[in-house]
């Protein structure tokens, strides 16, 4: 276990250094958890090294008899799109509780990558699911010395569910359960449960306009600082979110729309946009003031 502790400390050191090297606008999350390994409710039969065990999900919450508490897990992930993130995790433990075996102490090591989808990402309680691929090692050999690529190391695929609880702006708590299914006969089917804290850092900037989402009124559209992150497509100094004609240069009086004939009626509502007219005649002139717009008047004068 001494070698495992050195390894986990080394990984944590380089993880933290990697964090510092990232750009200020990249959203990252680092987590530090305690894990509990359980090999019992896995339906392990046949070639599984610890078979037979219980049926799948049998006694899954039997903490006292089956859960091996105490090992640390360290994770690092990066959000890439609307609650979807990619990450990596490393975990160690010492497995002492295996149904049918007495007086065992099997060093455990696992590492791998995962994909994570978080739901209700704006809420204080956020459910999530994960799928992953990695390696795990139960060192049940006679010497029981940790070896990363020992004969007992197996590749595995895994999937899990969990919840995040937002405690403060950047700090939260996470609980998660994952099931690991080995791809080699030397591998051990097992659950790993994790509970701990995470720290979210980096200034999330979805549209990459240099303005943090929390300060950006248009977080999904690149914009200008003077308009709190909103764009001004036509350059009329009226942001698109307040501009009724965002692609036509206009005036503030006309809510961003042009008024070519300056009759106080925006061109989009003006039936005669090049001739000054009245509101009553939808922007058209009435030269002889007979109540009939010139365009419809056979005798406009």
**What is the predicted pLDDT for the residue at 147?**
62
The domain that holds 15 is classified in CATH as 2.40.160.20
Report if residue 113 sits inside a domain: yes
The per-residue pLDDT for range 259-279, each reduced to its tens digit, is 999 999 999 999 999 999 998
The per-residue pLDDT for range 148-197, each reduced to its tens digit, is 666 788 999 999 999 999 898 789 999 999 999 999 988 999 999 999 99
Report if residue 290 sits inside a domain: no
**What is the predicted pLDDT for the residue at 139?**
84
Report if residue 253 sits inside a domain: no
Report if residue 220 sits inside a domain: no
Report if residue 222 sits inside a domain: no
Report if residue 289 sits inside a domain: no
State the total domains in the chain. Answer: 1
Six token digits for residue 116:
């994570």
Report if residue 301 sits inside a domain: no
Structural domain that includes position 62 = 2-201
Report if residue 45 sits inside a domain: yes
Mean pLDDT by 10 residues, the chain (301 residues): 48 39 59 96 86 89 92 94 92 92 89 94 87 92 64 92 90 96 92 95 81 87 93 95 95 94 93 92 88 84 76
**What is the predicted pLDDT for the residue at 21?**
32
């Amino acid at each position: 276990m001494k070698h495992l502790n050195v390894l986990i400390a080394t990984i944590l050191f380089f993880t933290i250094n990697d964090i510092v090297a990232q750009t200020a606008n990249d959203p990252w999350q680092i987590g530090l958890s305690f894990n509990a390994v359980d090999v019992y409710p896995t339906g392990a039969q046949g070639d599984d090294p610890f078979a037979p065990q219980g049926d799948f999900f049998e006694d899954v919450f039997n903490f006292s008899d089956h859960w091996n508490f105490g090992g640390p897990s360290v994770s690092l992930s990066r959000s890439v799109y609307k609650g979807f993130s990619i990450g990596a995790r490393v975990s160690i433990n010492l497995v002492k509780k295996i149904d049918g075996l007495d007086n065992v102490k099997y060093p455990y090591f696992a590492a791998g990558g995962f994909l994570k989808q978080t739901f209700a990402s704006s809420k204080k309680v956020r459910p999530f699911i994960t799928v992953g691929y990695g390696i795990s090692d139960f060192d049940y050999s006679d010497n029981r010395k940790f070896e990363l690529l020992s004969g007992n190391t197996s590749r595995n695929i895994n999937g899990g569910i969990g919840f995040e609880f937002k405690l403060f702006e950047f700090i939260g708590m996470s609980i998660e359960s994952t099931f690991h299914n080995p791809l080699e006969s030397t591998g051990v089917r097992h659950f790993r449960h994790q509970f701990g804290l995470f720290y979210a850092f980096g200034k999330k900037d979805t549209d990459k306009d240099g303005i943090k989402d929390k300060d950006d009124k248009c977080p999904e559209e690149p914009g200008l600082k003077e308009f709190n992150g909103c764009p001004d497509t036509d350059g009329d100094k009226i942001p698109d979110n307040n501009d009724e004609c965002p692609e036509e240069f206009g005036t503030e009086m006309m809510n961003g729309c042009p008024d070519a004939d300056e009759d106080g009626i925006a061109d989009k509502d003006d039936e005669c946009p090049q001739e000054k007219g009245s509101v009553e005649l939808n922007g058209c002139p009435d030269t002889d003031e007979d109540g009939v717009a010139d365009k419809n008047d056979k005798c406009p004068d």
